[in-house]
């Protein structure tokens, strides 16, 4: 299924959900079950067969297979996939957003939102500092290096800009944040996830959801268990959303606190976008 087909399937799911699910969220009599078959069950079956490209998904009699309640989050997508067609069509339909391909669409959309929010916050912060404290030594150094970069026909990277203004998140800053947010993480893992988020954002917005050279190289260098790349197929598991949101929140908080310490202002009043 292509990136655009998966996006259309996600929209179709979101449209079908409120149109059918309310009818089954109650105890049904036999007559009621028959009454909703054409209205709800048949659309679920058709949706699932197209989504998973399995026209014969419901040919055989159901073989009810329970879900392991202790299934690890990173294995849940595969766990659900193994049960497709074995339970009621509603089971397959309602779990679609956590399996491939819809799960990847949900992950990429969410990660893209997280990165855009972080990127917007950083750009606004830098712009505000340059406007409000133009005579600060850091701002003078920034303008000097920015002018040099333009002469060299290049742009300062975000990391370069943050470092020039004294806002870069150092390992000690990240470790302090992670002690509370994710005690088992290292600063290196935090930086890896931030880098992954940036690359996935590019994959989503510029490559129609297909892995590009940067992502392929990154996965060879630093693989991540929530990302699977096989040829031109990409699967991004939902748990990565929480990791990315944690990381961008941490970096935004560090940047804001450093801004307040260096350029003034109450670090408790402003909020990261």
Residue 12: predicted pLDDT = 79
Q: Residue for token digits 């992670």?
A: 178
Residue 267: predicted pLDDT = 46
CA distance 95 to 199: 27
Query: For the chain, where are the alpha helices, taking DSSP H only?
Result: 3-20, 30-36, 42-51, 76-81, 89-94, 102-132, 137-151, 158-164, 171-181, 187-206, 213-221, 239-263
Cα angle: 223, vertex 188, 197; to 5 degrees = 55
pLDDT tens digits, the chain, 273 residues: what are they? Answer: 565 677 677 777 877 876 777 667 666 788 888 888 898 999 999 999 999 999 999 987 778 888 888 889 889 889 999 999 998 898 899 989 988 889 999 999 999 999 999 999 999 999 999 999 999 999 999 999 999 999 999 999 999 999 999 999 999 999 999 999 999 999 999 999 999 999 999 999 888 788 888 898 888 888 899 999 888 889 999 999 999 999 999 999 999 999 999 998 654 444 433
Q: What are the Cα distances from residue 85, in Å, to 12, 39, 173?
A: 20, 19, 49
Compute the residue count for the chain: 273
> What sign does the dihedral 230-206-77-243 (CA atoms) show?
positive
Residue 7: predicted pLDDT = 61
CA distance 263 to 261: 6
């Amino acid at each position: 299924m292509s990136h655009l087909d998966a996006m259309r399937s996600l929209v179709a799911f979101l449209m079908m959900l409120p149109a059918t699910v309310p009818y089954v969220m109650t105890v049904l009599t036999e007559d009621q079950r028959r009454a909703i078959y054409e209205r709800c069950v048949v659309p679920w079956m058709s949706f699932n067969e197209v989504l998973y490209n399995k026209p014969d998904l419901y040919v055989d009699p159901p073989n009810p297979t329970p879900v392991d309640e202790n299934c690890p989050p990173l294995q849940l997508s595969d766990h659900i996939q193994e049960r497709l067609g074995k339970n009621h069509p509603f089971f397959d339909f309602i779990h679609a957003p956590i399996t491939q391909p819809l799960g990847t669409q949900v992950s990429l959309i969410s990660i893209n939102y997280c990165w855009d929010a972080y990127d917007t916050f950083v750009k606004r912060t830098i712009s505000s500092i340059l406007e409000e404290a133009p005579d600060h030594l850091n701002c003078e150094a920034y303008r000097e290096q920015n002018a040099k970069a333009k002469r060299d026909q290049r742009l300062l990277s975000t990391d370069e800009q943050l470092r020039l203004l004294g806002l870069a998140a150092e390992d000690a800053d990240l470790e302090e944040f992670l002690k509370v947010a994710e005690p088992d993480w290292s600063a290196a893992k935090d930086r890896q996830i931030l880098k992954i988020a940036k690359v996935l954002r590019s994959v989503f917005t510029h490559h129609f959801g297909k892995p590009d050279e940067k992502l392929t190289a990154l996965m060879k260098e630093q693989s991540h268990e929530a990302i699977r790349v096989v040829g031109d197929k990409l699967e991004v598991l939902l748990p990565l959303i929480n990791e990315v949101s944690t990381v961008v929140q941490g970096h935004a908080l560090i940047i804001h606190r450093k801004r307040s310490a260096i350029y003034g202002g109450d670090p408790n009043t402003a909020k990261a976008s």
